[in-house]
Amino acid sequence: MLRRVLIANRGEIAVRVLRSCQRLGIEAVLAASDADLDSVPARLSDAVIRLGPAAPGDSYLSVDAVIGAAVAAGADAIHPGYGFLSENPALARACAAAGIVFIGPSAGQLEAVGDKLTARRHATAAGLPVAEGGEVASPGDAVGLAAAIGFPVLVKAVGGGGGRGLRPVARPDALAGTVELAMAEAAAAFGDSRVYLERYLPSGRHVEVQLLGDGRTVIHLGDRDCSVQRRYQKLIEEAPAPLLGDELREAIRRSAVAFGEHLRYRGAGTVEFLVEPESDAFYFLEMNARIQVEHPVTEAVCGLDLVAEQIWIAEGNPLRIGQSAVTLAGHAIECRINAEDWTDGFRPTPGTVTTAAFPAGPGIRVDTHVQAGTTVPPWYDSLLAKLVVSGRDRAEALTRLRAALARCQIDGVPTTLGMHERVAAAPEFAVGGVDTAFLGRLLQPEPAAGGRRG
């Protein structure tokens, strides 16, 4: 039984994790950078320990700093949240060396899915459909492979993640230059210049499956649709994925479980797929070996606390439930409210929040670290809050979403609230099953800036 957990993260996910810890009677110690020592998560935690300067490389991205904070705090476990070091095998190995429980999968499993080419090989070995593609060592290699695949193609960084390191190419004459640029950017961003090509589906749907595994048994907790994106970054997610045929849905879920079983996966993880709407074909994209930003929509339809399940598994316990005991009911939608000016290319907008008012009521959940006076620093992700609504069906959830968005107010920094209202009001979104190109279509031409809601 864990007694003290160091939360090596910040923002809303830090609040989310510490609340589960406290409900379980586990002391929650927050590791905070200088920018976050007086944050809402710091005030809510049982204790705070300084992690380092505001720059992520000196704090949240430093394995030595995180391990040092855990040792100083007397923590017997580290929860990495998402982002930062959550999928870094070096942290998992350092935890093992220090006798600290890493609340997540093993270092080997992180390595297996963190390298996108290795993940593709594992997916193939597990029998999952994988889009045509492969590694390219030079722009010349890319030209030959693209000719075999056919355009458009996607240039992807092997070490990328979270929507970063992706560049679509529609024409042969643009490929060599894009590959050169992608290699340079990948080396700078991920310390790994390797890239690969994959057949690109400009209008596919992004569907993913939530898994839980204990190293022996793997189950799924249903699927989610994350197709409302900008620049491959998710903005709205829902569970279950709307307008999927029963056979297709079951095939996607079976494939995700097969991948988890192949890895003997331990912890919470998500297997992501691209679905081709015209043919109902689907292809493995990647696995995120951590808790996802969008996990609340799964919690809303399955009734489980996924952070509590992560902790239970990390303590060495078998899964509490089998697949036959998983009950999925209702529908849930999540909006990521970011400090960004969506009328200006989603430009980040750091500053100070002067008003933060969120709705409450049946079927409404708000995960946030923001209140009046909160400073939004320039060094980190721009996520301010997640508005999650649920209902007996998608129609009820969508009605609640529109009403809840109208009752949100964040002043002091431009936000994406207005964009979410526009999506929620769109007839195409109301029907459901939009593709990843939907938001681009909806926002063209972009509206003029103005109005208090951003």
The reply to whether 344 and 217 lie within a common domain is: yes
Q: Which of 306, 364, 357, 360 is nearest to 335 (CA)?
A: 364
| Beta-bridge partners for 166 | 156
**Residue in 16, 194, 266, 290 annotated catalytic:** 290
Who's near 198: CB < 8 A, 6+ residues apart?
A: 131, 132, 133, 149, 153, 154, 156
Parent domain of 250: 205-442
For tokens 């951003």, the residue is 454
Q: Per the domain annotation, does 220 fall within a domain? A: yes
Q: Specify the CATH number for the domain of residue 9.
A: 3.40.50.20
Q: What is the dihedral of CA 433, 421, 226, 212, to 10 degrees?
A: -120
The reply to whether 194 and 209 lie within a common domain is: no
Q: Would you call the peptide bond into 377 cis, given omega within 30 degrees of 0 as the criterion?
A: no
The reply to whether 99 and 136 lie within a common domain is: no
Q: How many CB atoms lie within 10 A of CB 294?
A: 24
Query: What would the DSSP string read from start to end of 231-297?
Result: TTEEEEEEESPTT--HHHHHHHHHHHHHHHHHHT-EEEEEEEEEEETTTTEEEEEEEE-S--TTHHH
The reply to whether 27 and 75 lie within a common domain is: yes
Q: Specify the CATH number for the domain of residue 139.
A: 3.30.1490.20
Q: Specify the CATH number for the domain of residue 338.
A: 3.30.470.20
Who's near 152: CB < 8 A, 6+ residues apart?
A: 168, 169, 170, 200, 202
The reply to whether 305 and 418 lie within a common domain is: yes
**What's the CA gap between 432 and 416, in Å, rounded?**
21
Q: Per the domain annotation, does 365 fall within a domain? A: yes
| Beta-bridge partners for 208 | 224, 272
In order along its 454 residues, the chain shows pLDDT tens digits of: 999 999 999 999 999 999 999 999 999 999 999 999 999 999 999 999 999 999 999 999 999 999 999 999 999 999 999 999 999 999 999 999 999 999 999 999 999 999 889 999 999 999 999 999 888 888 888 999 999 999 999 999 887 766 677 889 999 999 999 999 988 888 887 788 899 999 888 889 999 999 999 999 999 999 999 999 998 899 999 999 999 999 999 999 999 999 999 999 999 999 999 999 888 899 999 999 999 999 999 999 999 999 999 999 999 999 999 999 999 999 999 999 999 999 999 999 999 999 999 999 999 999 999 999 999 999 999 999 999 999 999 999 999 999 999 999 999 999 999 999 999 999 999 999 999 999 999 998 644 444 444 5
The reply to whether 96 and 185 lie within a common domain is: no
* Number of domains observed in the structure of the chain: 3
Q: Per the domain annotation, does 112 fall within a domain? A: no
Q: Is 290 a catalytic residue?
A: yes
